[in-house]
Chains A and B, each alone.
Chain A
Amino acid sequence: EPEVTQTPSHQVTQMGQEVILRCVPISNHLYFYWYRQILGQKVEFLVSFYNNEISEKSEIFDDQFSVERPDGSNFTLKIRSTKLEDSAMYFCASRSGTSGSDQYFGPGTRLLVL
């Protein structure tokens, strides 16, 4: 069964450093998303990406964040200068282009900013 994959599974970084989180969405999917989940809280939307551009972003997704689809398979989230409050689980998700299609999540990257 196709699945969304994410790397790394864990990332520890120092405050102010740049991190890149990587995702490989399901191969025939067209819509890609990043969400985050602070420990013990609900899943929050960060950004959606379609047709090689951002289609929507939340208030959380400020100028420190960027997304890219550098090739036909990878989808990345970059945090330019990490802050302590960026510590969270980051989930990538994807869905096909059909109306009402289901959205599938990857296993997540646990980011810890020290």
Chain B
Amino acid sequence: QQQVKQSPQSLIVQKGGIPIINCAYENTAFDYFPWYQQFPGKGPALLIAIRPDVSEKKEGRFTISFNKSAKQFSLHIMDSQPGDSATYFCAARKPARQLTFGSGTQLTVLP
């Protein structure tokens, strides 16, 4: 019940494409769902986060779609660039608790 399942494991898109990364959870006590971007040898950097009272949130080229009934959420990257090539982690958190991370998606954006 604590798991967050993330797919795909890896993703390759052309520059300008829209990669979509999906996550699913079981525990309905989760109330905060962030996405982190991680470059090799660096710490996870917070990209965008959503709470379950909204179905979509957009910040720049990054959009989270949230489906509360299906217990799924996804990250869309508009107009992807080679500099977006990184590992992306979804996560979930119960109130005042630690983050539970997905397994990560390695994104490669080809020039």
Question: Which B83-111 residues sit within 8 Å CB-CB of chain A?
Answer: 89, 91, 93, 95-104
Question: How far in angstroms is the closest Cβ of chain B from A58?
Answer: 8
Contact of A102 among B34, B43, B96 (CB under 8 A): B34
Tell me which of B11-19, B45-53, B55-63, B69-77 binds A: B45-53
Q: How far is the CA of A99 from the CA of B94 in the complex (A)?
A: 11
Does B31 count as interface, using CB distance less than 8 angstroms?
yes
Interface of chain A residues 88 through 114 with chain B (CB within 8 A): 91, 93, 99-100, 102-108, 110
Asked if A42 and B98 sit within 8 Å, CB to CB, the answer is no
Q: Is A82 an interface residue (CB 8 A)?
A: no
Q: Find out whether the CB atom of B51 lies under 8 angstroms from the CB atom of A100.
A: yes
CB pair B46 A103 closer than 8 Å: yes
CB contacts (< 8 Å) of A56 on chain B: these are 97-98
Docked CA distance A88–B110 (Å): 30
Q: Compute how far the CA of A31 lies from the CA of B97 in the bound complex, rounded to whole angstroms.
A: 10
